Amino acid sequence: MNAQSLHDAVAELIRHVAQTAIQPHYQRLASHQIEAKAADDVVTVADKLSEEMLTEGLMKIMPGLAVVGEEATHADAGVLDGLAGDCWIVDPLDGTRNFAAGKPPFGILIAMASGGVTHTGWIYDVLTDRLCVAHQGKGAFVNGERITARVTGETPPVAALSLIFLDPARRQAVLDHVAPHYRMVDVPYCAAEQYPRLALGENDVSIFERTLAWDHAAGDLWLNEAGGRCARPDGSPYRVDEITRTGLIGAASPALWEDMARRMEAIPG
């Protein structure tokens, strides 16, 4: 299968799953269709159905390729072993917390990786039909149009800092020493929305503490291919197989990335 056929097949699958498994449940979830997955996380019937359908569809598109899905991994941590080889990476409903509350944003994230490195990614907004696609070395696209990351142009720059997974002391240090240098805006609790904001002139920079592969594989690739920068705070590239590693900075330009990395490194303690 050539690259264009692959992209077309995955895009068709994503839209079909969104229309079949996700949209019918939006703002129609019954209480028994929402389950607590962790203290700060929920899963819905739509997440589960979406992952089932995406997994089945992706295995038909590329038979034999491992599928590392968020919900499958929650049920069996051994699924994560697939991240070391050639695999699909699937977040069947990114932004579940928003979806369960009956509000946007939420989407679908799919990536392909080989040897721990993402080479292809799809970021889909279910409600707007915005499809962001990237392939390593080939650029970033939104609904088929190649895009170049652009900054907001605001002074100070606009920052959406995801602090929820930081320990309390580190969170306060970021608020005290980093936040004052930016105009702070709310995070969308949805990577499928946050990464596009960083390239489309809405936000300038973001930090993430938890960096699970299904949340960041597609967005990291897409932002870098757009000409922004996404990397670990020490400048090393994001790898999907670094399962326990934390910390990631995404920015609309390399200069904005450097500024944030410098400020994060200078935090006392």
Question: Residue 66 forms beta bridges with which residues?
Answer: 87
Closest CA to 104 of 71, 70, 132, 128: 128
Burial of 124 from C-beta contacts in 10 A (0-12 / 13-18 / 19+):
buried
Q: Structure tokens of 127? A: 């409600």
Helix (H, G, I), strand (E, B) or coil at 243: coil
- The answer to whether 94 is a known ligand-binding residue is yes
- Could you tell me if 110 and 121 are in contact, meaning their C-beta atoms sit under 8 angstroms apart? yes
Nearest CA among 175, 246, 166, 258 for reference residue 213: 246
- The amino acid occupying position 239 is R
User: Known binder of ligand: residue 70?
Assistant: yes
The answer to whether the annotation marks 215 as part of a ligand binding site is yes
Q: Which two tokens stand for residue 112?
A: 């392909």
- Neighbouring-strand partners of residue 248: 208
Residues contributing to the annotated binding site:
70, 91, 93-94, 215
Residues contributing to the annotated binding site for Mg(2+):
70, 91, 93-94, 215
